[in-house]
């Protein structure tokens, strides 16, 4: 399975800030204003020569507590299905909350998924002590970081790449059907991808080049596993052809 890492956690723990830190961009919007954050955001990152795709999850959620929990569950479950490694982000300022436990339970139930618990907002030494609280989630080692300043993220990345295979396309024996959507920018590739997936999984706008990177999605439909590759445009096609010839 290609290296796909999903950042999950309840809202406001600093997932998007961490995403931006790791991808060294400002792609994900760090904001609490309704409607500005999309469901998922995809980026590429690299650490010590190991490349991986990163998914930031969790747009703004509004409504009653029930709606809130259902929406968190839905978004976390999709991220779990799409990724091979999960980073469960929690917030030392708040300590363990009920919603952290909801997310941790979903993560725990996911079979074969590796998990790193990331205690964010550890801006100083005193706060590092509070991180021990998160061992009660029962998901192992707790990595302390400050996504704002970047402190601790080096150790986190070291731990992450140990969990990732260094061969980005090391698909195992159960070869999946690969579908690459290629074509000129703005002809409707992302819309087609979304139609195939049956939901809005990629960012679609009518501004040419909105999909900046290829977006790889693993999904199951009609009882079969597929890899769908939504490319950014012709210049990205080489990579897909390489992938397809590898499979062939
Ligand atoms: N003190 C502190 N605040 C942070 C840190 N990382 C993120 N935040 C703040 O936490 C809030 C939520 O961050 P965001 O990344 O949008 O969280 P998300 O909802 O989990 O994606 C923002 O106000 C961030 O500036 C950190 O390391 N330290
Ligand atoms: Mg966010």
Q: Is 203 helix (H, G, I), strand (E, B) or coil?
A: coil
> Which numbered atom of ligand 1 lies nearest the CA of 31?
16
> Does pLDDT of 239 surpass 80?
no
Class (C level, CATH) for 177-247: alpha beta
Rounded CA separation 127/45 (Å): 28
Considering only CA atoms, which of 156, 71, 85 is closest in space to residue 120? 156
Distance from CA of residue 214 to its chain's centroid? Answer: 14
The chain-wide mean pLDDT, for the chain, equals 76
Rounded CA separation 74/186 (Å): 29
Q: Name the DSSP class of 95.
A: -
Q: Is 157 helix (H, G, I), strand (E, B) or coil?
A: helix
Ligand 1 neighbour 121 (Cβ under 6 A): yes
Backbone angles phi, psi at 49, to 5 degrees: 85, -5
Q: CATH 3.40.50.300: which residues of the chain?
A: 4-163, 177-247
> Does pLDDT of 240 surpass 70?
no
* CATH number of the structural domain 4-163: 3.40.50.300
- How many whole angstroms from 13 Cα to the centroid of ligand 2? 8
pLDDT class for 94, splitting at 50, 70, 90?
very high
pLDDT digits (tens, 9 = 90+) for 26-81: 655 554 443 334 566 778 899 998 888 888 887 556 666 677 778 778 888 888 88
Ligand 1 neighbour 14 (Cβ under 6 A): yes
pLDDT digits (tens, 9 = 90+) for 180-216: 888 877 788 777 877 777 654 444 433 444 444 566 6
Ligand 1 neighbour 17 (Cβ under 6 A): yes
Cα angle, residue 55 at apex, residues 177 and 166 outer, rounded to 5°: 65
Rounded CA separation 103/192 (Å): 31
Ligand 1 neighbour 27 (Cβ under 6 A): no
Rounded CA separation 196/121 (Å): 39
């Amino acid at each position: 399975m290609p290296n796909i890492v999903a950042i999950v956690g309840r809202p406001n723990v600093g997932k998007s800030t961490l995403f931006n830190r790791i991808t060294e961009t400002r792609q994900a919007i760090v904001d609490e204003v309704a409607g500005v954050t999309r469901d998922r955001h995809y980026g590429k990152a690299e650490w010590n020569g190991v490349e991986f795709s990163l998914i930031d999850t969790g747009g703004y959620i509004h409504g009653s507590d029930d709606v809130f929990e259902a929406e968190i569950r839905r978004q976390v479950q999709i991220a779990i299905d799409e990724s091979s490694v999960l980073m469960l982000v929690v917030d030392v300022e708040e300590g363990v909350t009920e919603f952290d436990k909801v997310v941790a339970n979903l993560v725990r139930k996911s079979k074969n998924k590796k998990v790193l618990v990331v205690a964010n907002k550890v801006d100083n030494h005193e706060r590092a002590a509070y991180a021990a609280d998160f061992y009660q989630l029962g998901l192992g080692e707790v990595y302390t970081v400050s996504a704002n300043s970047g402190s601790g993220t080096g150790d986190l990345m070291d731990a992450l790449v140990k969990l990732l295979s260094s061969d980005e396309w090391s698909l195992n024996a159960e070869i999946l059907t690969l579908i690459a959507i290629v074509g000129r920018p703005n002809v409707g590739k992302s819309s087609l991808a979304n139609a195939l997936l049956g939901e809005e999984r990629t960012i679609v706008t009518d501004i040419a080049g909105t999909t900046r990177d290829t977006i790889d999605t693993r999904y199951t439909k009609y009882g079969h596993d597929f890899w769908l590759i939504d490319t950014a445009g012709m210049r990205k096609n080489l990579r897909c052809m390489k992938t397809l010839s590898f499979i062939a």
